[in-house]
Amino acid sequence: MLPPIGKPPCRSFDADMPDNVVILDLARFTDRDIARIAALAGKLKLMHRWYRCERSTLPGADRFVVFSGDRSQTPYACYRIERIEDGAYRLVDHRSGEMLAASRSIGPILDALPADFYHAAPAPSADRRPKP
């Protein structure tokens, strides 16, 4: 189980620790991660869907909120891709807050994006007659 955002993992530093030690910030997306998230735009463009992403950086977490939709009456898809302080990734449904996937690399997270991110849900049937 991954720690919640905003809670730093347990760390203890000795007072006699050297001053030249640099603590790595593993919560930031790498350039390769950003390129893979940006590649979603090209894939969705080929599927005739619009795509938008917004990046926000919080203490101990970096996140992208990705949106996808088509020009119909179906609602757009909205998911959050997060990288937390220990370097792990999470995929979260932005509307409900439900965690859909967690991994140590971004590949399985992008593979876990639900089908509604890529395809519109089928329209409800126009036939409203009661079934016999």
pLDDT: is 120 or 81 the higher one?
81
Contacts of 101 (CB under 8 A, 6+ apart): 90, 91, 108, 109, 112
Q: Cα separation of 42 and 71, whole Å? A: 17
Write out pLDDT tens, residues 25-55: 788 899 999 999 999 988 988 888 899 999 9
The per-residue pLDDT for 119 is: 82
Give the residue-averaged pLDDT of 99-104. 94
Average pLDDT, the chain: 81
pLDDT: is 73 or 16 the higher one?
73
SS3 57: strand
